[in-house]
């Protein structure tokens, strides 16, 4: 134990010395451990900047520890062009552009950082893709282990994002098929248009705004889900632990479920609508008259309020023959409230 404390004290002293040197010279201030031993490091910064690349029709990015962003070339450089801007510490960038397919990956040195005094770096490892306005792409595929993703402003046949740890912000994308998967992080999707969207965010809040989709399957394991002014043909939305909130939602066929969390929907729901909550309240507001709907409503432990009327000691409420627009609402432990504005 005494030897361990001596080692720790020595490392702290070395770190302070490195910090002092860094203040004077701007040199590296990192003590790291790799398979060869303990070293006083000189961080190697790898930078790749290429402009006026040949036109790109597909982009494949697979990086472990980098932010990824797409920027408009006209706003970024003042001209319409394709380019890349890659910055990373202790890594080798591997990129190719062949037959319109841009591929970017990297090899990174594996080091266990013991002490670091990098107070002055002021940057994050990043992959920046520079694209002209209104570019049309075939495939955009992005995979990151740890890093934020901020992309948008393009059309694509297929868009795939897989992010383990980091936030994802996508904006103004038209894509025939979209598949978005996050393990842990916040998601924001603005002004998206797609035929088919498959979305999964395991741990983090998710927001969609002005999303138009023929079909959407959206799932969250832990975190709130919000939909603002979204339009769906078919919508399947589920949340294990968190709320589901939708305002201005339009859907002609919906299945919305929550295991533990409230469901609040205010929108134009037609066709067959199924809403279920295991532990949480259901609050549904529709723009039409109640005569436009047939319904089957049930609660196990809770109250039913229908068109402003509280149903006393009534756990089920059923209309007559099914209509074209049908509501199937249920809650195991929670209240159900249905309001009509028409």
3-state SS string over 35-91? CCEEEEECCCEEEEEECCCCCCCEEEEEECCCEEEEEEHHHHHCCCCCEEEEEEECE
Question: Does residue 116 sit within a domain?
Answer: no
Which residue range is the domain that position 17 belongs to?
2-41
In this prediction, residue 118 carries a pLDDT of: 45
In this prediction, residue 24 carries a pLDDT of: 43
- For 130-183, what is each residue's pLDDT tens digit? 999 989 999 999 999 999 999 999 999 999 999 999 999 999 999 999 999 999
In this prediction, residue 121 carries a pLDDT of: 46
In this prediction, residue 150 carries a pLDDT of: 97
Say if strands 212-222 and 225-228 run parallel, antiparallel, or are unpaired.
unpaired
Contact 131, 150 (CB under 8 A): no
- For 175-216, what is each residue's pLDDT tens digit? 999 999 999 999 999 999 999 999 999 999 999 999 999 999
Mean pLDDT of the 257-261 span: 97
Question: Does residue 283 sit within a domain?
Answer: yes
Question: Does residue 125 sit within a domain?
Answer: no
In this prediction, residue 41 carries a pLDDT of: 46
Six token digits for residue 245: 């909130």
- In DSSP notation, 212-257 reads EEEEEEEEEEES-EEEES-EEEEEEEEEEES-EEEEEEEEEEEEEE
Q: How far apart are CA 216 and CA 102, in angstroms?
A: 29
Query: Does residue 26 register a pLDDT over 50?
Result: no
Question: Does residue 20 sit within a domain?
Answer: yes
In this prediction, residue 328 carries a pLDDT of: 98
Mean pLDDT of the 64-88 span: 91
Higher pLDDT, 31 or 235: 235
Query: Does residue 259 register a pLDDT over 70?
Result: yes
Average pLDDT of the chain, as a whole number: 87
In this prediction, residue 90 carries a pLDDT of: 72
Query: Does residue 81 register a pLDDT over 80?
Result: yes
In this prediction, residue 139 carries a pLDDT of: 98
Q: How far apart are CA 228 and CA 111, in angstroms?
A: 44
In this prediction, residue 320 carries a pLDDT of: 82
Mean pLDDT of the 276-302 span: 97
Question: Does residue 304 sit within a domain?
Answer: yes
Mean pLDDT of the 309-329 span: 92
Q: Which of 70-74, 175-179, 259-263 has the lowest mean pLDDT?
A: 70-74
Percent of the chain surpassing pLDDT 70? 82
Question: Does residue 215 sit within a domain?
Answer: yes
Q: Kindly tell me the burial class for residue 234, based on how many C-beta atoms sit within 10 Å of its own C-beta (0-12, 13-18, 19 or more).
A: middle
3-state SS string over 245-296? EEEEEEEEEEEEEEEECCEEEEEEEEEEEEEEEEECCEEEEECCCHHHCEEE
Mean pLDDT of the 67-72 span: 95
Question: Does residue 260 sit within a domain?
Answer: yes
| 13 confidence band (pLDDT: 50, 70, 90) | low
Number of Cβ within 10 Å of residue 2's Cβ equals 6
In this prediction, residue 238 carries a pLDDT of: 98
Query: Does residue 25 register a pLDDT over 70?
Result: no
Q: How far apart are CA 130 and CA 72, in angstroms?
A: 6
Q: Please tell me whether residue 110 adopts helix, strand or coil conformation.
A: coil
Q: Please tell me whether residue 194 adopts helix, strand or coil conformation.
A: strand
Mean pLDDT of the 13-23 span: 52
Question: Does residue 71 sit within a domain?
Answer: no
Structural domains in the chain (count): 2
Query: Does residue 17 register a pLDDT over 70?
Result: no
- For 27-63, what is each residue's pLDDT tens digit? 444 444 444 444 444 456 678 888 889 999 999 999 9
């Amino acid at each position: 134990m005494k030897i361990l404390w001596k080692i720790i004290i020595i490392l702290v002293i070395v770190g302070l010395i490195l910090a002092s040197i860094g203040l004077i010279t701007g040199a590296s201030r990192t003590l790291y451990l790799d398979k060869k031993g303990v070293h006083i490091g000189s961080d190697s910064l790898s930078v790749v900047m290429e402009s006026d690349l040949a036109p790109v029709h597909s982009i494949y990015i697979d990086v472990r520890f980098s932010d990824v962003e797409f920027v408009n070339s006209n706003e970024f450089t003042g001209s319409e062009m394709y380019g890349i801007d890659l910055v990373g510490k202790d890594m080798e960038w591997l990129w190719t552009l062949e037959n319109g397919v841009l591929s970017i990956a990297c090899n990174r040195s594996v080091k266990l950082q013991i002490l670091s005094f990098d107070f002055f770096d002021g940057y994050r490892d990043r992959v920046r893709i520079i694209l002209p306005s209104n570019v049309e792409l075939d495939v955009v595929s992005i995979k990151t282990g740890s890093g934020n993703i901020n992309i948008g402003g393009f059309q694509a046949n297929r868009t795939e994002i897989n992010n383990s740890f980091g936030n994802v912000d996508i904006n103004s994308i038209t894509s025939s098929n979209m598949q978005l998967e996050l393990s842990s992080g916040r998601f924001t999707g603005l002004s998206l248009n797609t035929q088919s969207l498959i979305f999964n965010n395991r741990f983090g809040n998710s927001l969609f705004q002005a999303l138009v989709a023929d079909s959407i399957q959206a799932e969250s394991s832990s975190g709130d889900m919000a939909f603002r002014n979204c339009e769906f043909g078919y919508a399947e939305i589920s949340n294990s632990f968190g709320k589901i909130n939708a305002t201005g939602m339009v859907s002609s066929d919906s299945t919305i479920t929550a295991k533990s969390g409230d469901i609040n929907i205010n929108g134009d729901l037609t066709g067959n609508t199924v809403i279920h909550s295991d532990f949480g309240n259901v609050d549904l507001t529709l723009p039409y008259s109640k005569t436009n709907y047939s319904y089957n409503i049930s609660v196990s432990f809770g109250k039913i309020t229908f068109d402003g009327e509280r149903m006393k000691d009534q756990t089920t409420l059923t209309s007559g023959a099914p209509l074209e627009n049908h509501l199937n609402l249920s809650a195991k432990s929670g209240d159900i409230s249905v309001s009509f504005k028409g």
